[in-house]
């Protein structure tokens, strides 16, 4: 039986540590691109989790292109890459890291299993 894993768009520019990257590959169906400039409407339409690298905004247009989106993961403690308007209207979770080396937290019930190093904070 095929296991249905959440579909994640991961950008190689994030350069996750090997162990963290392998965990992503185990836990999720991973779509990999070099950076957000390579996004396509077909890919965005499939994903449930979107990484928001520093310097690349996730605006309402991008959120609207992701009808299955459940979570946005950021490697910053700031909310700046994520607009609260588009995300909150669709109950999309935001995750931010407070560490310096990318990774992710343990799964949390009823939430998409994405986060970042050490500690993670769900944005309201």
pLDDT at 10 (0 to 100)? 94
- The separation between the first and the last C-alpha atoms of the chain, rounded to the nearest angstrom, is 36
Number of structural domains, the chain? 1
Q: Which residue has the higher pLDDT, 54 or 12?
A: 12
Structure confidence at residue 27 (pLDDT) = 92
pLDDT at 3: 75
- Domain contains 87: yes
Mean pLDDT of 4-30: 92
- Over residues 67-118, the pLDDT tens digits come to 999 888 876 655 544 454 445 456 676 655 544 444 444 333 333 334 433 3
Domain range for 93? 7-123
- In-domain check, residue 1: no
Answer whether residue 39 is part of any domain: yes
Tell me what pLDDT residue 71 has. 87
Confirm whether 2 is domain-assigned.
Answer: no
- φ, ψ at 106 (rounded to 5°): -70, 155
User: What strand order describes the sheet that includes 29-33?
Assistant: 29-33, 7-11, 49-52, 71-74, 93-97, 120-123
Q: Which of 38-42, 49-53, 112-116 has the lowest mean pLDDT?
A: 112-116
Count Cβ atoms below 10 Å from residue 107 Cβ, excluding itself: 11
* Any domain includes 84: yes
Q: Which CATH number fits the domain that encloses residue 80?
A: 3.40.50.720
Lowest mean pLDDT among 40-44, 45-49, 84-88, 111-115: 111-115
**Would residue 28 count as lying in a domain?**
yes
68 domain residue, yes or no: yes
């Amino acid at each position: 039986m095929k296991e249905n894993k959440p579909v994640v768009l991961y950008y190689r520019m994030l350069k996750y540590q090997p162990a963290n990257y392998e965990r992503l590959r185990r836990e999720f169906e991973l779509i990999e691109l070099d950076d957000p400039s390579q996004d396509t409407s077909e890919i965005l339409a499939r994903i449930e989790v979107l990484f928001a690298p520093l310097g690349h905004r996730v605006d309402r247009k991008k959120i609207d292109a992701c009808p299955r989106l459940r979570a946005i993961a950021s490697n910053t403690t700031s909310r700046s890459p994520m607009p609260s308007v588009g995300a909150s209207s669709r109950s999309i979770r935001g995750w931010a890291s407070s560490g310096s080396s990318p990774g992710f937290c343990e799964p949390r019930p009823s939430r998409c299993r994405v986060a970042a190093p050490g500690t993670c904070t769900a944005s309201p």
